[in-house]
Chain A
Amino acid sequence: GENVEQHPSTLSVQEGDSAVIKCTYSDSASNYFPWYKQELGKRPQLIIDIRSNVGEKKDQRIAVTLNKTAKHFSLHITETQPEDSAVYFCAASKTDSGGSNYKLTFGKGTLLTVNP
Chain B
Amino acid sequence: EAQVTQNPRYLITVTGKKLTVTCSQNMNHEYMSWYRQDPGLGLRQIYYSMNVEVTDKGDVPEGYKVSRKEKRNFPLILESPSPNQTSLYFCASSFWEGSYEQYFGPGTRLTVT
The reply to whether B33 and A89 form a contact with Cβ atoms under 8 Å apart is no
How far in angstroms is the closest Cβ of chain B from A93? 8
Cα(A15)–Cα(B33), bound, Å: 36
Q: What's the minimum C-beta distance from B26 to chain A, rounded to whole angstroms?
A: 16
B31 touches A43 (CB 8 A): no
Nearest Cβ on chain A to B14's Cβ, whole angstroms: 26
**A6, B101: Cα distance in complex, Å:** 20
Report yes or no: B42 in contact with A107, Cβ–Cβ below 8 A: yes
Pick from A6, A102, A105: contact of B50, CB below 8 A. A102
Interface size on B, residues (CB 8 A): 23
Asked whether any CB of chain A lies closer than 8 Å to the CB of B53, the reply is: no
**A116 on the interface (CB 8 Å rule)?**
no
Residue in B closest to A91 when the chains form the complex, CB atoms: B43
A45: interface (CB < 8 Å): yes
A44 to B37, CA, bound (A): 11
- Look across to chain B and name the residue whose beta carbon is closest to the beta carbon of A100: B96
Q: Which of B41, B43, B97, B104 contacts A100 (CB 8 A)?
A: B97
Contact B45 A104 (CB under 8 A): yes
A102 touches B100 (CB 8 A): yes
Per-residue CB contact flags for chain A residues 31-71 toward chain B (1 = under 8 Å, else 0) read: 01010000000011110010000000000000000000000
- Residue contact A43 to B90, C-beta cutoff 8 Å: yes
In the complex the two chains form, is B40's CB within 8 Å of A108's CB? yes
Please give me the residue from chain A that is nearest to B35 by CB atom.
A106
1/0 contact trace for B71-113 toward A, CB 8 Å? 0000000000000000000100010110011101111000000
Given contacts A89-B43, A107-B42, A108-B40, A102 and B96 within 8 Å (CB-CB):
yes
Chain A 2-19 near chain B by CB (<8 Å), digits 1 or 0: 000010010000000000
Q: Which residues of A are interface residues toward B (Cβ below 8 A)?
A: 1, 6, 9, 32, 34, 43-46, 49, 89, 93, 98-109
User: Closest 9 CB pairs between A and B?
Assistant: A108-B42, A43-B104, A106-B43, A102-B31, A46-B101, A106-B42, A101-B100, A109-B42, A44-B104
